[in-house]
Each structure stands twice: as structure tokens, then as C-alpha cells.
């Protein structure tokens, strides 16, 4: 008889629902990037929504794949590996840049702490979702929608007359459930247009898939803290002591703002690396910051930036300026992690 041994964390995660993860004891990364094979009837959007991903995340990870007709046999990358947002791991954290919600439910006695994550839709550029810290003030089933005058006026300009009140039903954009926030006029709610989840399409509120908010609303207590942040670049350490990063596009960004964002990210990455003597692949970091894919990836430098004797190189702490501009041909998702000796850290896993 052959006995297979699995890490306790992996066994625990097997029993959790999709999008639910045990929090690592020492680390900032949960989940695993996977690859699925599209069937003849699949759309890229369907593959995303069926795997806890919104529109932007799955299209950014697969820029060469047709949205509506990927084609039978096409391999689709699912960025279902997440670097946890910075700050306290409690309550609800909504990362606007990521179009994603994280919920840290109170841990039950004798059970490990967990995190749940869901794709969301947020406000358009002209109806921005606010940032800051608030709380849940109420929860409502079958809500009626009272469109504000600004929304009524916008619809009127397009020849669409909105009623003062939209009752519950298939035409109600709030869906079947709404979580009311302490910020006046803003909600976390369901939707009658699931394709908009993972996009910037709302008038400022946070949209969730119907099944997701139904799952969440009955378990999140009134008074729960909700932090709304805008973090387009996240860094985190794995349990194997590898530094990973995850970058998301910043819409309508000026060249000056992009340059400032990249410089800030370089500084943060260098601070992380210096604290643990970690060698960063700055060429790959720069490439990802310039063209974000939303895929969590290792930053381990897998090849030497210049020829050195092994005994000297192994003891050398390199400053990023020595190799930050060097080109590399390293497959970051593969070779970097193979060099580390980690089992699957950051490497896409084939889903069968």
C-alpha cells in the first residue's frame, strides 16, 4: 500500500468552497494559478465567472484569446492566486484597482482563520467608487432601487425615463440583496447584469454576482468594518520565503503617473528584498508594471545578472541598480520557482 502525505494547509483548502482559503501562518499569498482547456461552447467570460473571476481579470491574463470564441482546445490561464491586500486582515477589504472584495470572517474556536474573495464591479471613471473606511449599517432582502436625481438625469439625456422607484424584480439593478454602507448612497449589492462584474460600469456602488452576495450577506454581521482601498500593485511573501507581486491596470493613467507608480513599486520591492536578502528580477518587475496582467508572479532572479564565481556570487548582496535594466529571457512562472525548490509556488496548475 502506498501512503501519500500532503501539507496540512493544502488538505484544509481542499475542503473549502471556491474562493475560500485558509490564511497562511506566515505569508501573504493564497490560491493557485490554474490553466483550463476551453470547450467549443465556452466564452472567456464564462470561464472567468465560473472560476470566481470577473471580466477584467480573465481578459488581462489572456490578452491573445478571443473573448467570445476562445475555440475548442484553447488553454486559458486563470489568475486565481491572490496576494492579500495590505493592512489589517479583518472585516471586508475592497481593492478598487483589483475589482475584488476580500472578507475575513471571525475565526471559530479550534478552526484556522480564513479569507474569502469575490470579483466585483465598481464605478465608472465619471462615477468613482469612494475610498476610505466605513461599516455595514444594514442588510436588505429584495431591495427597491431609488435612483438619485443625477442618474435619472443621465438616463433622460439618453431618452430613457427612469421611475422614481424600481421595485424588486428582474429589472432592478440591485438584484435580490443589498448591504448598506455608512457612506451615504453607497451599497454592496447583487446585479441583474452579471457580465458587468469585474468591470468599471456602475454608478459607484459595488456589484457582486447573485450567488456570491447571497452567500455573504447572511454571514457578515452588521457593524463589520469595510475598507475601500486603491492598490494597483501588491507585494507579498509566500510561505517558502519568495517575494511575489501582482499588478493591475490603472485606467487613464498619464505617462508621468505611470513613471511615478513604477518608481514607487521599485522602491517598495527593494525594501522588501533588502529585508530578507532576496534577489529580484527587476527586468521582469518593470515589464509587468508597464503592462499589468493581474497574475501573481514570483520576482526571484533566476539567472545571474553577470558572470561571477559561484563562491563569490552566493555571498554577494546585489543592489538593484546593478541589474535593474538588464534584459532577461526567464520564464518567471516556471524557471524562477523551479530554482527555489518550492512545490508549486506561483506555477500554473493544469485543471483537468
pLDDT in tens, 3-42: 333 344 444 445 788 999 999 989 999 999 999 999 999 9
Tell me what pLDDT residue 149 has.
67
Query: Are the C-beta atoms of 186 and 130 separated by less than 8 Å?
Result: yes
Exactly one of 20, 203, 205, 248 is catalytic; name it.
205
Report how far residue 232's alpha carbon sits from residue 94's, in angstroms, rounded to the nearest whole number. 12
Low-confidence stretches of the chain (pLDDT beneath 70): 1-14, 123-128, 147-163, 201-204, 303-347, 349-352
Task: Say what the pTM is.
Answer: 0.81
Tell me what pLDDT residue 303 has.
59
Tell me what pLDDT residue 182 has.
94
Report how far residue 87's alpha carbon sits from residue 68's, in angstroms, rounded to the nearest whole number. 37
Query: Are the C-beta atoms of 50 and 19 separated by less than 8 Å?
Result: no
Tell me what pLDDT residue 69 has.
93
3-state secondary structure the chain: CCCCCCCHHHHHHHCCCCCEEECCCCCCEEECCEEEECCCCCCHHHHHHCCCCCHHHHHHHCCCCCCCCCCCCCEEEECCEEECCCCCCCEEEEEHHHCEEEEECCCCCCCCCEEEEEECEEECCCCCCCCEEEEEEEEEECCCECCCHHHHHHHHHCCCCCCCCECCCCCCCCCCEEEEECCCCCEEECCCCHHHCCCEEECCCEECCHHHHHHHHCCCCCCCEEEEECCCEEEEECCCCCEEEEECCCCCCCHHHHHHHHHHHHHHHHHHHHHHCCCECHHHHHHHHHCCCCCCEECECCCCCCCCCHHHHCCCCCCHHHCCCCCCCCCCCCHHHHHHCCCCCCCCEECC
Tell me what pLDDT residue 197 has.
86
Tell me what pLDDT residue 74 has.
97
Tell me what pLDDT residue 12 has.
44
Choose among 74, 82, 71: nearest CA to 35.
74
Whether 189 sits among the annotated catalytic residues: the reply is yes
Exactly one of 20, 189, 248, 320 is catalytic; name it.
189
Tell me what pLDDT residue 337 has.
38
Tell me what pLDDT residue 171 has.
82
pLDDT in tens, 124-138: 544 567 889 999 999
CA angle 137, 140, 145 (to 5 degrees): 105
Above pLDDT 70, what percent of the chain?
Answer: 74
Amino acid at each position: 500500500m502506498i501512503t501519500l502525505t500532503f501539507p496540512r494547509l493544502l488538505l484544509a483548502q481542499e475542503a473549502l468552497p471556491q474562493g475560500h482559503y485558509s490564511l497562511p501562518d506566515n505569508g501573504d499569498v493564497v490560491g493557485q494559478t490554474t490553466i483550463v482547456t476551453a470547450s467549443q461552447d465556452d466564452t472567456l467570460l464564462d470561464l472567468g465567472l465560473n472560476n470566481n473571476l470577473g471580466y477584467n481579470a480573465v481578459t488581462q491574463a489572456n490578452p491573445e484569446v478571443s473573448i467570445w470564441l476562445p475555440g475548442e482546445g484553447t488553454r486559458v490561464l486563470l489568475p486565481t492566486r491572490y496576494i492579500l491586500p495590505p493592512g489589517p486582515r479583518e472585516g471586508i477589504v475592497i481593492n478598487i484597482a483589483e475589482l475584488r472584495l476580500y472578507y475575513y470572517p471571525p475565526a471559530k474556536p479550534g478552526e484556522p482563520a480564513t479569507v474569502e474573495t469575490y470579483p466585483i464591479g465598481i464605478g465608472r471613471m465619471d462615477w468613482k467608487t469612494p475610498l476610505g473606511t466605513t461599516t455595514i449599517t444594514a442588510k436588505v432582502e429584495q431591495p427597491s432601487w431609488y435612483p438619485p436625481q443625477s442618474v435619472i438625469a443621465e438616463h433622460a439625456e439618453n431618452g430613457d425615463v427612469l421611475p422614481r422607484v424600481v421595485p424588486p424584480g428582474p429589472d432592478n439593478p440591485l438584484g435580490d440583496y443589498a448591504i448598506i454602507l455608512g457612506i451615504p448612497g453607497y451599497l454592496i449589492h447583487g446585479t441583474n447584469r452579471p457580465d458587468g462584474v469585474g468591470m468599471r460600469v456602475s454608478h459607484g456602488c459595488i456589484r457582486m454576482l447573485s450567488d456570491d452576495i447571497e452567500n455573504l450577506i447572511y454571514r457578515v454581521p452588521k457593524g463589520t468594518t469595510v475598507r475601500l482601498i486603491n492598490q494597483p500593485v501588491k507585494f507579498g511573501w509566500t510561505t517558502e520565503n519568495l517575494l511575489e507581486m501582482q499588478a493591475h491596470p490603472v485606467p487613464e493613467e498619464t505617462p508621468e503617473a505611470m513613471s511615478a507608480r513604477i518608481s514607487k513599486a521599485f522602491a517598495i520591492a527593494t525594501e522588501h528584498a533588502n529585508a530578507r536578502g532576496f534577489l529580484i528580477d527587476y527586468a521582469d518587475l518593470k515589464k509587468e508594471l508597464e503592462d499589468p496582467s493581474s497574475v501573481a508572479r514570483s520576482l526571484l532572479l533566476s539567472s545571474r545578472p553577470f558572470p561571477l564565481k559561484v563562491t563569490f556570487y552566493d555571498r554577494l548582496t546585489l543592489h538593484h541598480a546593478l541589474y535593474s535594466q538588464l534584459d532577461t529571457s526567464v520564464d518567471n512562472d516556471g524557471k524562477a520557482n523551479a530554482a527555489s525548490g518550492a512545490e508549486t509556488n506561483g506555477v500554473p496548475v493544469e485543471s483537468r
